[in-house]
């Protein structure tokens, strides 16, 4: 009887525990000006980017160029929605770090909603790059699905609290997905871009993307989710800075080139067509 009553009391208490956990995360965010500023900066810049990109793409007419424009526009659209959710408390929480972690037993602020941002925005970046390079559907599908796998397993690495080793195992899986994306960006798509006549701009955006995207796993490893060498606020600003450069600056450079070279984009053959023509 006593056990039954105890179990019932535990179940009744669970919503309060969950509410308390959510509230503590919101309180951490509200009380840490540096942390909250890292999120507000992205909301403000995403809003400006949306207005700017709409203006820059107002005269883009050809189908391929318009698809690139829509892809780049979706990047800040996804970001402003996701960062607003973080600020509202909807996609943040606190996690108790497992044994072996530098902060083992402590409740650590977790802005896990960032992974939603990356899951929906980074495929748009790859879609725009693939279209710019004139790649074929198989390579484009591979890059995007590997990217989604990278983000989802990265989320798993951030949320696992049962085992410190398991966190790093998911991090390793996520990194393996990332290596496939890097291979496509560095090996496959440059050849496609050369055939499409977009090698110069693709090369610039490729270097920008690879360098900045490499910063994310490094920051994960050094931040509170990994080795905890950096505190929550610094880690958050690191992610925000990478997002600003890898998303808004990238999208601006791409859209500016597309708007000024729409004919080159419209006439660029995809790699499958170019290969077939070469075989003939």
- For residue 44, the tally of other CB atoms under 10 A from its CB is 12
Q: Whole-angstrom Cα distance, residue 35 to residue 158?
A: 18
Residue 276 located in a structural domain: no
Q: What percent of the chain has pLDDT over 70?
A: 87
pLDDT category of residue 266 using cuts at 50, 70 and 90: confident
226 CA to centre of own chain: 18
CB-based burial label for 251 (10 Å; 0-12, 13-18, 19+):
buried
Per residue in 126-168, pLDDT (tens digit) is 999 999 999 999 999 999 999 999 999 999 999 999 999 999 9
Per residue in 92-130, pLDDT (tens digit) is 999 999 999 999 999 999 999 999 999 999 999 999 999
Residue 274 located in a structural domain: no
Residue 223 located in a structural domain: yes
Q: For 37-186, list the strands marked E by DSSP.
A: 93-96, 107-110
Residue 10 located in a structural domain: no
238 pLDDT higher than 80 = yes
202 CA to centre of own chain: 20
273 pLDDT higher than 60 = no
- Supply the pLDDT for residue 276: 45
79 pLDDT higher than 70 = yes
Residue 57 located in a structural domain: yes
Q: Mean pLDDT for the chain?
A: 89
Length of the chain: 280
- Supply the pLDDT for residue 14: 46
pLDDT category of residue 265 using cuts at 50, 70 and 90: confident
Look up the domain containing 37 and give its range.
16-268
Per residue in 242-259, pLDDT (tens digit) is 999 999 999 999 999 999
Residue 11 located in a structural domain: no
Domain tally for the chain? Answer: 1
Residue 5 located in a structural domain: no
Three-state SS at 94: strand
Please answer whether residues 209 and 184 qualify as being in contact, where contact means their C-beta atoms are separated by less than 8 angstroms. Answer: no
pTM (2 d.p.): 0.87
Residue 278 located in a structural domain: no
pLDDT category of residue 264 using cuts at 50, 70 and 90: confident
| CATH number of the domain encompassing residue 124 | 1.20.1070.10
């Amino acid at each position: 009887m006593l056990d039954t009553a105890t179990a019932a009391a535990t179940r009744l208490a669970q919503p309060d525990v969950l509410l308390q956990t959510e509230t503590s995360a919101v309180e951490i965010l509200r009380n840490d000006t540096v942390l909250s500023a890292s999120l507000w900066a992205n909301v403000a810049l995403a809003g400006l980017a949306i207005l700017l990109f709409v203006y820059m793409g107002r005269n883009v007419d050809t189908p391929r160029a318009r698809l690139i424009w829509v892809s780049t526009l979706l990047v800040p659209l996804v970001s402003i929605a996701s960062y607003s959710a973080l600020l509202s408390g909807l996609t943040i929480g606190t996690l108790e770090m497992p044994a072996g972690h530098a902060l083992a037993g402590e409740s650590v602020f977790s802005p896990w909603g960032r992974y939603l941002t990356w899951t929906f925005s980074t495929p748009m970046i790859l879609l725009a790059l693939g279209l710019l390079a004139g790649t074929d559907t198989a390579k484009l599908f591979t890059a995007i699905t590997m990217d989604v796998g990278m983000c989802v397993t990265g989320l798993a690495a951030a949320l696992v609290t049962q085992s410190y080793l398991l966190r790093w195992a998911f991090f390793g899986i996520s990194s393996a997905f990332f290596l496939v994306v890097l291979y496509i960006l560095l090996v496959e798509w440059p050849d496609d871009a050369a055939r499409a006549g977009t090698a110069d701009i693709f090369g610039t955006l490729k270097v920008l993307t690879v360098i900045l995207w490499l910063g994310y796993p490094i920051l994960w490893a050094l931040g509170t989710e990994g080795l905890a060498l950096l505190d929550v606020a610094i880690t958050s600003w690191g992610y925000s800075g990478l997002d600003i450069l890898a998303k808004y600056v990238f999208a601006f450079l791409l859209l500016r080139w597309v708007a000024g070279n729409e004919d080159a984009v419209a006439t660029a053959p995809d790699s499958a067509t170019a290969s077939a023509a070469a075989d003939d």
